[in-house]
Copies of this chain bind each other. A is one copy, B any other.
Amino acid sequence: MRVETNTVVPALKNIATRLRIESVRATTEAGSGHPTTCCSAAELVAALFFGEMRFDPNNPKHPHADRFVLSKGHAAPILYAAWSEAGTIPRAELLRLREFTSDLEGHPMPRVPYVDIATGSLGQGLCAGVGIALNARRIASDYRTYVLMGDGETAEGSVWESAAMAAHYRLDSLVGIVDVNGLGQSAATQLQHDMEAHKRRWTGFGWHTLVIDGHNMEQVLDALAEARRTKGVPTVILARTVKGKGISFTEGQLNWHGKALKKGDEFARALKELESQMVPEAPDSKIEIPRPTMQPRDEKPREMSAPDYKLGDLIATREAYGTALARLGSADSRVVALDADVKNSTFTEKFEAVHPDRCYQSFIAEQGMVGAAMGLASRGAVPFAATFAAFFARAADFVRMAAISDLNIKLVGSHSGVSIGEDGASQMALEDLAMATAQPNFVVLYPSDAVCMEWSVAAAAQHQGPVYIRASRPKTPVIYQSNEPFPIGGCKVLRQSDNDKATVIGAGITVFEALKAYDELKQQDINIRVIDLYSLQPIDASTLIAAGRATSRLITVEDHYAAGGVGDAVARAVAPAGLAVTRLAVHEIPRSGRPEELIDHYGISARHIVATVNRL
C-alpha cells in the first residue's frame, strides 16, 4: 500500500460509497441496469483504482499503465463511476448511461479509451487477461493486469482454460478477483458462499489463492499487496461479498438482479442509507493515482519479403501459412502466434521454431487461445491464432465478442471442408465461413494456393481489424506468380473469353475443380469464366456483377455447407443487380472417405460443375 493505512482507508471507504451512489443513480436514471452487482464490488473497485493501480486518467491507453478488465460486464456503471472519480468522465455524463448517443453503454465497449475489450458475455475477461499479461512480458513492461469476475461466471469453462494457461505461463502480473456475492441472475450460484469450495478449484488449477471479506477495505488492500509480492504464479482473490451491499432492502436479495431502483421513494431511501455510510476522513488524506513510469517504445514493422514459389509447386495452403508467418514474425515484432496443440498440422511450428518467445500454447483449449489473442490484440500485439477451422466453433462466442470489440486479431482455420478426407465429419469445418462472414467487420480470406496464402497473411497483418483466413489440408499447385498482388476485397479472373456461357466461382480447393471443369468444357467447345474468390468479405461485387451480366449464369462451388458460405456471399453481392446464383455446396453431414471421393460424392467436383453448366 502506498500510504499509511489509517489515512487512506477512510478515503477509500468513502470512494466505495460514492461508487455505489453513482451506480445506483445512473441505473435509476436509465431505468434499467444492474445496480446490485455494482454494490457488491464497490470496495474491490475503489481499492483497485485508488489504492493499487498505476495509470494516467488522461491517457488510459498508456502502454505501461496497469490494466483493469471488468469481466462481470453488467457491473458497467461502477466502471464508469470509477473513471469519473478519477476525473476521466464528467459526472453529468454518468446520468446518460445506456442512452443511444452516449458511449456509456449497458455493457463496457472499447468505444471508450479506458476499455480494452468488450465484456458482457461472462467468463471471457480472464482469457483476455492472460493475453494482456503475456503482452506485458512481450514488451518487457511492468504493468499489471487485474480481472474482476463474478462468482457465477466461474462456471464458464473458459475461465478454467485461462486459469490453466496463466498457471502454465507463471503469469504473476495477473490477478484474478472474484466478487463472490453468491447470487446469479435467476438463483443462488452453484458454490454460493462456500469459500473453501471456491478455493479448492483455484488451488487445484495452480493459483495462489486468497480468501477475504470483500467489504473490508484493509483486507482488500492487503490481498492486492500480497498478490503484488507473489512471484512465479498468478494470484486470485476470492472476495466474499453481499449483492446489493449498502442498501438494506437489496442486500443479499435474489430478486434484485438486473433491476434499477425506482425513481422517487425507493431511490431516495437508498441514497439516504448510502450517504449515511460516509466516514470521517483525515484532514490531510489525499488519494493520488501513481502514473506509469516506463516510456512507450516504437514498434515499427519492416516490409515482409515476397514469397518464393514456382508455378506448379505442390504446397498446402496451411503449410504456406506457417512459412509466411515465420517470415512475417521476423519483419514485425508485434506479431505473435497462438496454438491449441495442433501446431504440426497448422504449421504454426514454423513460427515457433524462429520466434519461440512469441508463440503461446493454450493446449487443447480454443477459448483460451482466442481469448488470449484478444487480450494481446487489445494491447498492440498482432496475434495470429490457428487451429482446425472446425474447432474455432469452440470459440465462436469469442469471435463474436472480438468483432464487437473490433479487435486486431487474425484467426487461421486449417483442415476446412470434406477435402480433409478420412478423419470424418467431426474434423471438417463446413460452417466456419458462416461464422466468420456473419460478423460485419471481419475480413474473410480463402486462398487457393501458397502465393495467395502468403499475401493473405501479409494483408491480414497490415489490416487493422479482425481477419479470418481459411486454409486447406490437401496440397494444391501454385497458380500465381510470387509477386502477384492480392488486395483485400479483390478476386482473380483466371479464365475469360468473349463468349463465356457461365461464370464458375470457386475458392480454396474448388478453384482447381473449376479449372478442371474449364478444361473439360473447353473440349466440348464451351467456354466458361473462372473466378478465384480469395476475398469473401469484403467482396469484389463489381467484378462478380460484370461476370454475371456477361455470362448470364453465376455458379458457385464451395467445400462448405450451402448456408453462409461462398454462394451466399456472392448472392448478397450480386443481388442489387438482380442476379441470382446457382450453388454447388455440401448438403448433408459427410462421412469418412478419401478426399477426392468425398469432393465428388458431395457434389463439388469438376464433374458436377460440368454437369451444372451443361444443364443451365
Contacts and interface: CB of A to CB of B under 8 A. Distances in A.
Contact of A107 (B345, B426, B562, B587): B426
Given A426-B120, A434-B438, A105 B592 contact: yes
B190 A363 contact: yes
Contacts of A301: none
Nearest to A434: B438
Given A394-B397, A404-B426, A575-B571, A186 B341 contact: yes
Contacts of A202: 204
A434 B572 contact: no
Contacts of A559: none
Contacts of A580: 571, 574-575, 577-580
Interface in A423-472: 423-427, 430-431, 434-435, 437-441
A226 interface: no
A120 to B, nearest CB: 3
A532 B232 CA distance: 60
Given A341-B152, A364-B153, A441 B159 contact: no
Contacts of A147: none
Given A184-B341, A341-B152, A440 B562 contact: yes
A188 to B, nearest CB: 10
A100 B593 contact: yes
A406 interface: yes
Interface stretch (A236-244, A326-334, A594-602): A594-602
B440 A561 contact: yes
A107 B425 CA distance: 8
A425 B438 contact: no
Interface string A563-574: 110011101101
A568 B562 CA distance: 10
A107 B424 contact: yes
A164 B190 contact: yes
A186 B341 CA distance: 5
A583 interface: yes
A212 to B, nearest CB: 19
A133 B436 CA distance: 35
Contacts of A156: 157, 161, 364-365, 394
Given A427-B120, A581-B575, A396 B157 contact: no
A493 interface: no
A551 interface: no
A367 B569 CA distance: 29
B364 A123 contact: yes
A64 interface: no
A28 interface: no
A152 B164 CA distance: 12
B344 A591 contact: no
Given A438-B431, A438-B563, A593-B100, A568 B572 contact: yes
B161 A564 contact: no
A200 B345 CA distance: 32
Interface string A188-206: 0110000001001111111
Contacts of A401: 426
Contacts of A592: 98-100, 102, 105-106
Given A106-B423, A106-B427, A201 B190 contact: no
A537 B562 CA distance: 12
Nearest to A442: B563
A540 interface: no
A475 interface: no
B120 A345 contact: no
Given A426-B107, A593-B99, A200 B197 contact: no
A98 B168 CA distance: 37
B426 A431 contact: no
A362 interface: yes
Contact of A105 (B121, B571, B591): B591
A177 to B, nearest CB: 17
Contacts of A537: 563
A582 interface: yes
Question: Which of A119, A123, A341, A567 is the most central at the interface, judged by chain B CB atoms within 10 Å of its CB?
Answer: A341
Interface in A528-553: 537
Nearest to A361: B187
A363 B591 contact: no
A73 interface: yes
Nearest to A111: B591
B157 A109 contact: no
A528 B85 CA distance: 55
Interface in A387-414: 390-391, 393-394, 396-397, 399-401, 403-404, 406
Nearest to A190: B363
Contact of A204 (B201, B431, B561): B201
A14 interface: no
A424 B102 CA distance: 12
A93 interface: no
A445 to B, nearest CB: 15
25 contacts: A98-B422, A107-B423, A107-B424, A107-B426, A109-B425, A120-B425, A120-B426, A121-B393, A153-B364, A157-B365, A391-B397, A393-B397, A404-B425, A431-B439, A434-B437, A438-B563, A440-B589, A441-B588, A562-B572, A563-B568, A567-B572, A568-B572, A571-B580, A571-B581, A575-B583
Given A111-B591, A186-B341, 4 more contacts: A155-B368, A184-B341, A185-B344, A391-B397
Closest 4 CB pairs of A and B: A157-B157, A204-B204, A120-B426, A100-B593
